[in-house]
Structure 1
Amino acid sequence: MKLERIAIQEFKQFTGRLVIDDLQPGLNLFTGPNEAGKSTIAEAVRAVFLERYKASHLKDLLPWGKASGQPSVEVTFDLAGAACKLSKHFVTRQRCDLSIGQAVFGEDEAEDKLAALLGFSRSARGPLKAENAGVPGLLWVQQGGTQEVRDSTGHAAQYLRDALSQLSGSNESAGEDALIAAVQRELRQLLTARTQKSTGPLAEAEQALAGLIIERDDLEQQRLQFEENIARLATQQEAFDDAQRKRPWELHEQKAVQAQQRADAAAELERGLQGLVQSLQVHEAELALSLQQEQGATDLEAAVARERQQLDAARASASTARHEHDDALARVAQLEQAYADANRALELANAAVTAADLRSQIALHRAESERLDAAIAAATTANEAVIEATRSAAALEIDVTQLKRLQSLDTELTVLRARTEAAMTRIEYRLNGTITVGDASVTGEGVLRLDEEKRIGLGELGELRVIPGVSDLSAQLSGLASLEAQHAQLLQTLGVASLGEAQARHEQWKTLVAQQKSQAKILEVHAPHGVDALRAALASAAVRLQTSNERLAMLPDACAAPPLDEARRAADIARDALDTAGKVLARAAETRTTATATADSLSGQLQRKEAQLNDDAFCRNRALWQTKIVEQRVQVEALKKQLAGRERELEAARLDDPAAEVKRYRAAAELARSEQHERQLRIAQLRSQLETVGASGLGERLAAVRASVEQAARRKDELSLRASALSLLDEVLVDERDAAVAQLRAPLTERLGHYLKRIFPHSTIALGDDLSPATLDRNGRAHTLDALSFGTREQLGILTRLAYADLLKASGRPTLLMLDDAAVHTDAARRDAIKRALIDAATRHQILVFTCHPELWDDLGVRQRAVEDLKVAA
């Protein structure tokens, strides 16, 4: 099949008509930038051949911005030597016409004929789905879909198999696949497809068998438990009877009573021991108090002797400190006089320096006052100029927005007046007599402009009725009057007579504003903070000048003053000497005071302690507690010996811990009673269980379940055998089918190798059951398509489609290849190989290539047809 002409009318972005003729039977190259319309042309070809002309979803084919458009596509093509023509109208006035030679088809019949010729199926409703696209879906590649070849090949698989069967002479048909499908359906009822796990009846049989086995095992476990319970009952009854005869808990209780008696005796010993301990503690505390009192008296005697020595030393120190203080006081008086003389000399030197500073400040204040006078004068002049310019500008200011509106209205009036005058009927006259126009008489010569119907009286000759030829003249006149009223109102609002006067006022205002800004800058230079600030600064400078003069007059005569540095050094030396002497005096005074206070304090303390030692009551008490110390020591030693004897007796009584033995024997008695009671309960429970199980017919139930297990196992084995047989049959049928398919693949594999060697030498492509590329084998390594790079998959997509086209061509089926922006992700070397493959395929097929990179395809040796040029030509 070879397209000869494509005509597109009101289709998406083509709001008019676009005609593409003179299509070549081989390679055709269309170029243009993005959104130029390349993909729209390809979509138009797909729509005219594949889409149902009555489909309601095709409203998106309407031309942009033209909801009432009528999209249509018409193609003229050659099919096996027969001239064909196909046209479709979409959305509105839906129609389909197809002519093949002398035969004419219309509507649904035409679409069915196209589907049979091109190898696709019509969708029942809605847009064309990928699974219905068939051969065109494989060979007509949309933008960005070159690398997606697997799905489109699968949708065209049946058409490719028919072509292969015709080329190879094989009788392969869908019957074998139907048989395999039937076997697999039966097999899938027993085993799952992917994991080969049991399902359906087989899974049910396995589940039933497993349930019966569990029930059988449970019954057998119950039977074993029944036998074990009989043995346990005999053992428990024997142990119960033996315990009832021996009654071990009574023996444990007797031992507990004896242990309690020993525990009570030990407790009595412990209470006596605690009384001895308390008595010993009391006597030891009394002895410690007596010893402490005697130690206090001894310490007091030692302190009196020590403080007598300290008092003698303190009195000697106080006498020395008084002599040192008197010497320091005389030295301070001498240095104070020297420091006063040095300070007077320093004050005179400072007065001389201050007088010099004041004279310098007076000169600076005078210069600052003169500068401020000049600045105030200049700032006053500039300020008056600013005020004058502001006043003048305010008088001439005009609203800029209203001025722009006036300019716009003036422009609109000019245009509308010209249009109105051009629309009015113009009559030029030159009269020898008089005529009437409406109610007015006209004579002489001139021009009449009529904006409405008028009657012109010609006297005895009759009359003329003049009707303006423009229908909307009255509306134009109404609009003109409205604009003139707005124009006049705006002139009145602005207070001007014309637009020129308003513009002149605005220019004068801008000039005055510029003058105002210039004078304001001058004012800011001289008085950045205002004229009042300058006047305040001038007053401040005058006050400072006056103050400096007054301070200079108050200073003493400093003609005989020494240099300031020399006077400052002399004053510093005198001050340092005085400070040092003052510190010496302060230390001497502090030392004298401290020494005197220490001697007085030691004297008072010594008198108090001597009086305490010599007190008669203190002497009698001391003799008394010395006697008590001897007696108390004898009592403490006797109590310690008695306490040691009692501790040995208690240790012997506690050797076996009678209290712990009481608890142990009582716990053993309670445990023996508890165990006997538990044996009695277990015996009763076992008897109840044995009676229940014996009455339930456990043996009969176990025999019945064993029989059910055997029956379920036979059913499961039968179904497993059927699944194995079906699996074997499926493998045999698939192997046979694959062998037939391998025979069918030979022509396709040959064509794939023809194109593949151009880019991937020494490589082969393995095909899947649906004849789509599955793996690429390079250098002994197989790669799935998904593992390849995007560019490699894109290149394989182009080459495999060329091979499919060769296969279909050889079997006598029509072919047309369309590639929209293909080989975008391909490097230069591989792109050259793709071009050679396209040129080779173009000798057998018509190929339409659309690209936005004309510079990459300018070496094909074919004419590039720019879409923009096609639009202009249309």
Structure 2
Amino acid sequence: MKLQSIAIQEFKQFTGRLFIDDLQPGLNLFVGPNEAGKSTIAEAVRAVFLERYKASHLKDLLPWGKASGQPSVEVSFDLDGVACRLSKQFVTRQRCELKIGQSVYGEDEAEDKLAALLGFSRAARGPLKAENAGVPGLLWVQQGGTQEMRDSTGHAAQYLRDALSQLSGSRESAGEDALIAVVQRELRQLLTARTQKSTGPLAEAEAALSTLSAERDDLVRQREQFDENIARLAAQQEAFDDAERKRPWELHEQKALLAQQRADAAVQLERGVQDLVQALKVGEAQLALSLQQEQAAVELEAAVARDRQQLDAARANVSAVETEHGQASSRVVQLEQASADANRALELANAAVSAADLRSQIGLYRAELERLEAAIGAANEAHEALVEATRAAAALEVDETKLKRLASLDASLTVLRARTEAAMTRIEYRLNGSITVGDARIGGEGVLRLEEEKRIGLGELGELRVIPGVSDLPARLSELAALEAQHAQSLQALGVASLAQAEQRHEQWKALVAQQTSHAKVLDAHAPHGIDALRAASASASARLQAANERLAGLPDVSSALPLDEARRNADLARAALESARKLLNDAAEKRSTGLATAESLALQLQRKEAQLSDAAFCSNRAQWQAKIVEQRVQVEALTKQREGRERELEAARLDDPAAEAQRYRASAQLARQEQHERQVRIAHLRSQLETVGASGLGERLAALEAKIEQATRRKDELSLRAGALSLLDEVLVAERDAAVAQLRAPLTERLGHYLKRIFPQSTIALGDDLSPATLDRYGRADTLDALSFGTREQLGILTRLAYADLLKASGRPTLLMLDDAAVHTDAARRDAIKRALIDAASRHQILVFTCHPELWDDLGVRQRAIDDIKAAA
């Protein structure tokens, strides 16, 4: 199938009519930016072929902002050499017509015919679903859907199988599939498809057997528990009787009483030790205070000696710093003068550089001013020549439409005159006398042309009645007169006497237009922005020249200036030396200030400490605490010895921890009583259980359950045997069917390999049951489609669709490929490979490619058709 033309009317963003013709049988490339209408054109093609013309959901096809529109699409195409035309109108006044050769189909019959021809199915109602799209859904790729292959291939699988069957000479057995379906249906009643787990009757039989077995196991456990409970009851009763005789809890309680008495005595001893510890702490604190006071006095005496030494050193340091500060101040004064001289020399050197720059600028401004003056002169000449050529061309301008009409009329008039003259009756005469023709008398020699009936008088001989043989001669004469009037009117409208004169004027006008264009180019070369812009630039250059001269005149005499680099270097050295000297001066001033402050602080501190040492009250207090130190040391030593003796006694009393022993014995007595009580409770509980189970008929129930288990086991074994047989039969039938399918896939696998090697050499692709790509095997590793990158899936989507198209064409099916922005996520190298694949496929199929990246597709060797140009032409 080859599209010849597409006509779209009031469809979505196309509010008017869009007509696309001259579609090539191979590759057709449509380009345009986003929102230009590429996808709308593709959608229009899908709608006219696939959508039901009476569908009520197609209101979104209405033109934007025009609720009363009538969306319609008409396509002309060639089908096996037969010219076809399909037109549909949607939403309002719905209609559908399909013409194939001389046959015309309408309404539903046309849509059924389309579905049969193209390989898809009609939706019963509502919008076209993916499962109905068939072959067009596979080959007509919508924007953003290139990488999606599984669903579209699955929906077209039956059409692909039919084509493969025709090519391979093999047919899938419908009866075999039906048998497999029956076997699998019976098997699915017993085992699940994916996990092969039991289901249906088999699962019920296994569940029943499992329930009975669990119930039997429970009864067995109950019987075993009954026997164990008899033994446990005897043991518990024996232990209870033995404890009642020995009564161990009473012995534990007596031991607890004795241990508690020893614990109370230890508590009293501990309180005495704590009192001694407290008294010792008070004595030690008083002694520490007295020692601290004496230590402070000793440290004060040592501090006075140190401060005297530090004060002498600080006063010597102040004298040295004073000398250093004077020297630094003198050095700063000298360097400030040197820095000022160097800065003045640098300013003079900068002025010399500015003067040189200004002289260079003045030269450039003068050259630019001369160039602009020359350009203004040349532009004025070109402008005058352009005006003169324009004036002359306007005087000779000839309307080409009127000229063409005059030429057409002149040619028609020449032909009509010749035909009219040929239709007239022609009489040549040579007379010795005269005759009458109508009311006129003629003689001599000549030719008569009679356009109507005439009477010729012959004198005495009588007369002749001449009737022209052409019956429509008057009509031709009338047509000739009308045409001559139109011809004269055209000559008058052009203001010429003849067609030759009009054509001569037209040639002169074209020559003047050419001169006008040449002068315009010369003017644009000299004044691309106009003569006024040149004059403005000239005035600006003149002003800059004057300003530069004025600035040069305002500079000082620079004849004695140093080179700029030398002056800058001298200024930098002087500035660095000055900054270093100032830093040294600041450091000396800071040292002098610090030294003076330190000396003053040390003198005040020494004076304060000496006054404290010589104070009478301080001397008296010092004598008192020195006497206390001796007394307090004797008291602390006595308390320490007394505390140590009491602590040894307390350690001996706590050696066995009598309080813990008392607690342990009381707990043991409580546990012994509690354990005896629990034995009594367990004995009562076991007796109750044994009485209950003994009355329930446990043995009879277990025997009846064993019989039921045997019956359930036979049922489960029968169903398991049936499931195994069905599984084996299914495996045999599927293996036979798969062998036939493998033979069926051979042509498609060959075409896939033809395209796949362009991008993935040394690779193979495996197909699923629905003939869609399943895995890509590269370098010995098989990857599923979902594991591949988005770009790789996109490239496989294009190549596999080309292979499907080859398969369908080889089996005589119509093929048309549409790719809407199909290689967006593809790199440059793989895009080139895809282009070669498209060029190869275009030799067999018509392919419509829509893209918003024309620069990436300009090397295909086909014309790029811009959507904006198509809309403008419409």
Q: TM-score range by the shorter chain?
A: 0.5 to 0.7
Aligned partner of 1:228 in structure 2 is 228
Give CA-to-partner distance per residue, 1:5-44, whole Å, 9 cap, x none: 2111111121111222222222222223322222221111
Give CA-to-partner distance per residue, 1:146-165, whole Å, 9 cap, x none: 22222211110110001111
Match runs of 1:432-447 below 5 Å: none
Aligned partner of 2:480 in structure 1 is none
Aligned partner of 2:786 in structure 1 is 786
Distance (whole Å) between structure 2 residues aligned to residue 8 and residue 870 of structure 1: 12
Give CA-to-partner distance per residue, 1:627-648, whole Å, 9 cap, x none: xxxxxxxxxxxxx9xxx9xx99
Report how far residue 224 of structure 1 moved. 1.5
Give CA-to-partner distance per residue, 1:763-796, whole Å, 9 cap, x none: 2221111111122223333233333333333222
Aligned partner of 1:561 in structure 2 is none
Q: Is the 8 A contact 1:260 1:659 kept in 2?
A: no
Distance (whole Å) between structure 1 residues aligned to residue 867 and residue 97 of structure 2: 27
Q: Is the 8 A contact 1:3 1:77 kept in 2?
A: yes
Distance (whole Å) between structure 2 residues aligned to residue 50 and residue 230 of structure 1: 85
Task: Label 1:73 to 1:224 Cα distance change in 2 as closer, same or farther (>3 A).
Answer: same
Distance (whole Å) between structure 2 residues aligned to residue 803 and residue 193 of structure 1: 33
Task: Label 1:739 to 1:855 Cα distance change in 2 as closer, same or farther (>3 A).
Answer: same
Give CA-to-partner distance per residue, 1:816-837, whole Å, 9 cap, x none: 1112223333344433333332
SS in 2 for 1:22: coil
Report how far residue 205 of structure 1 moved. 2.7
Aligned partner of 2:692 in structure 1 is 692
Task: Label 1:682 to 1:153 Cα distance change in 2 as closer, same or farther (>3 A).
Answer: closer
SS in 1 for 2:871: helix
Aligned partner of 2:91 in structure 1 is 91
Aligned partner of 1:352 in structure 2 is none
1:762 aligns with 2:762: yes
Match runs of 1:348-387 below 5 Å: none
SS in 1 for 2:757: helix
Report how far residue 210 of structure 1 moved. 2.4
SS in 2 for 1:16: strand
Distance (whole Å) between structure 2 residues aligned to residue 791 and residue 774 of structure 1: 16
Aligned partner of 1:134 in structure 2 is 134
Q: Is the 8 A contact 1:256 1:661 kept in 2?
A: no
Distance (whole Å) between structure 2 residues aligned to residue 263 and residue 147 of structure 1: 90
Task: Label 1:263 to 1:782 Cα distance change in 2 as closer, same or farther (>3 A).
Answer: closer
Distance (whole Å) between structure 2 residues aligned to residue 63 and residue 269 of structure 1: 110
1:744 aligns with 2:744: yes
Aligned partner of 2:818 in structure 1 is 818
Aligned partner of 2:776 in structure 1 is 776
Task: Label 1:698 to 1:80 Cα distance change in 2 as closer, same or farther (>3 A).
Answer: same
Distance (whole Å) between structure 1 residues aligned to residue 835 and residue 260 of structure 2: 116
Distance (whole Å) between structure 2 residues aligned to residue 654 and residue 861 of structure 1: 110
Percent of residue pairs bearing the same amino acid type: 82
Aligned partner of 1:873 in structure 2 is 873
SS in 1 for 2:746: helix
Report how far residue 73 of structure 1 moved. 0.5
Task: Label 1:267 to 1:698 Cα distance change in 2 as closer, same or farther (>3 A).
Answer: closer
Distance (whole Å) between structure 2 residues aligned to residue 708 and residue 78 of structure 1: 77
Aligned partner of 2:331 in structure 1 is none
SS in 2 for 1:758: coil
Give CA-to-partner distance per residue, 1:410-452, whole Å, 9 cap, x none: xxxxxxxxxxxxxxxxxxxxxxxxxxxxxxxxxxxxxxxxxxx
Distance (whole Å) between structure 1 residues aligned to residue 65 and residue 170 of structure 2: 56
Distance (whole Å) between structure 2 residues aligned to residue 261 and residue 839 of structure 1: 112
Task: Label 1:665 to 1:777 Cα distance change in 2 as closer, same or farther (>3 A).
Answer: closer
Distance (whole Å) between structure 1 residues aligned to residue 263 and residue 775 of structure 2: 99
Q: Cα RMSD (Å) of the superposition? A: 4.4
Aligned partner of 1:106 in structure 2 is 106
* Farther off after superposition, 807-816 or 32-41: 32-41
Aligned partner of 1:400 in structure 2 is none
Report how far residue 807 of structure 1 moved. 0.9
Q: Is the 8 A contact 1:26 1:846 kept in 2?
A: yes
Distance (whole Å) between structure 1 residues aligned to residue 745 and residue 28 of structure 2: 30
Task: Label 1:221 to 1:21 Cα distance change in 2 as closer, same or farther (>3 A).
Answer: same
Aligned partner of 2:835 in structure 1 is 835
Task: Label 1:267 to 1:101 Cα distance change in 2 as closer, same or farther (>3 A).
Answer: closer
Aligned partner of 1:194 in structure 2 is 194
Task: Label 1:703 to 1:78 Cα distance change in 2 as closer, same or farther (>3 A).
Answer: same
Q: Is the 8 A contact 1:252 1:668 kept in 2?
A: no
Report how far residue 696 of structure 1 moved. 0.8
Q: Which runs of 5+ in 1 are unaligned?
A: 286-579, 607-639
Aligned partner of 2:410 in structure 1 is none
Distance (whole Å) between structure 1 residues aligned to residue 149 and residue 653 of structure 2: 104
Distance (whole Å) between structure 1 residues aligned to residue 816 and residue 233 of structure 2: 95
Distance (whole Å) between structure 1 residues aligned to residue 20 and residue 657 of structure 2: 122
Report how far residue 251 of structure 1 moved. 8.7
Q: Rg larger in 1 or in 2?
A: 1
Give CA-to-partner distance per residue, 1:488-544, whole Å, 9 cap, x none: xxxxxxxxxxxxxxxxxxxxxxxxxxxxxxxxxxxxxxxxxxxxxxxxxxxxxxxxx
Task: Label 1:93 to 1:228 Cα distance change in 2 as closer, same or farther (>3 A).
Answer: same
Distance (whole Å) between structure 2 residues aligned to residue 144 and residue 237 of structure 1: 85
Distance (whole Å) between structure 1 residues aligned to residue 163 and residue 720 of structure 2: 41
Distance (whole Å) between structure 2 residues aligned to residue 830 and residue 864 of structure 1: 21
Report how far residue 236 of structure 1 moved. 4.1
Aligned partner of 1:39 in structure 2 is 39
Distance (whole Å) between structure 1 residues aligned to residue 697 and residue 195 of structure 2: 44
Task: Label 1:269 to 1:80 Cα distance change in 2 as closer, same or farther (>3 A).
Answer: closer
Give CA-to-partner distance per residue, 1:743-765, whole Å, 9 cap, x none: 01111111222222333333222
Report how far residue 104 of structure 1 moved. 1.9
The one-letter code sitting in structure 1 at the alignment partner of 2:736 is E
Report how far residue 239 of structure 1 moved. 5.0
Distance (whole Å) between structure 1 residues aligned to residue 656 and residue 37 of structure 2: 113
Report how far residue 660 of structure 1 moved. 10
The one-letter code sitting in structure 2 at the alignment partner of 1:135 is V
Q: Is the 8 A contact 2:266 2:653 kept in 1?
A: no
Q: Is the 8 A contact 1:209 1:709 kept in 2?
A: yes
Distance (whole Å) between structure 2 residues aligned to residue 241 and residue 857 of structure 1: 105
Distance (whole Å) between structure 2 residues aligned to residue 773 and residue 667 of structure 1: 80
Give CA-to-partner distance per residue, 1:274-325, whole Å, 9 cap, x none: 9xx99xx9xxx9xxxxxxxxxxxxxxxxxxxxxxxxxxxxxxxxxxxxxxxx
Match runs of 1:297-446 below 5 Å: none
The one-letter code sitting in structure 1 at the alignment partner of 2:183 is V
Report how far residue 699 of structure 1 moved. 0.8
Aligned partner of 2:14 in structure 1 is 14
Distance (whole Å) between structure 2 residues aligned to residue 99 and residue 172 of structure 1: 35
Distance (whole Å) between structure 2 residues aligned to residue 192 and residue 699 of structure 1: 40
Q: Is the 8 A contact 1:256 1:663 kept in 2?
A: no
* Farther off after superposition, 180-189 or 838-847: 180-189
Report how far residue 82 of structure 1 moved. 2.3
The one-letter code sitting in structure 1 at the alignment partner of 2:810 is A
Distance (whole Å) between structure 2 residues aligned to residue 796 and residue 270 of structure 1: 95
Task: Label 1:247 to 1:123 Cα distance change in 2 as closer, same or farther (>3 A).
Answer: same
Distance (whole Å) between structure 1 residues aligned to residue 78 and residue 182 of structure 2: 43
Report how far residue 651 of structure 1 moved. 14
The one-letter code sitting in structure 2 at the alignment partner of 1:78 is D
Distance (whole Å) between structure 2 residues aligned to residue 44 and residue 108 of structure 1: 19
- The alignment covers a number of residue pairs equal to 518
The one-letter code sitting in structure 1 at the alignment partner of 2:230 is I
1:848 aligns with 2:848: yes
Q: Is the 8 A contact 1:249 1:668 kept in 2?
A: no
Distance (whole Å) between structure 2 residues aligned to residue 148 and residue 93 of structure 1: 36
Q: Is the 8 A contact 2:202 2:720 kept in 1?
A: yes
Task: Label 1:173 to 1:40 Cα distance change in 2 as closer, same or farther (>3 A).
Answer: farther
SS in 2 for 1:865: strand
SS in 2 for 1:211: helix
Q: Is the 8 A contact 1:262 1:658 kept in 2?
A: yes
Aligned partner of 1:68 in structure 2 is 68
Distance (whole Å) between structure 1 residues aligned to residue 793 and residue 51 of structure 2: 29
Q: Is the 8 A contact 2:191 2:199 kept in 1?
A: yes
1:170 aligns with 2:170: yes
Distance (whole Å) between structure 1 residues aligned to residue 40 and residue 849 of structure 2: 13
The one-letter code sitting in structure 2 at the alignment partner of 1:773 is P
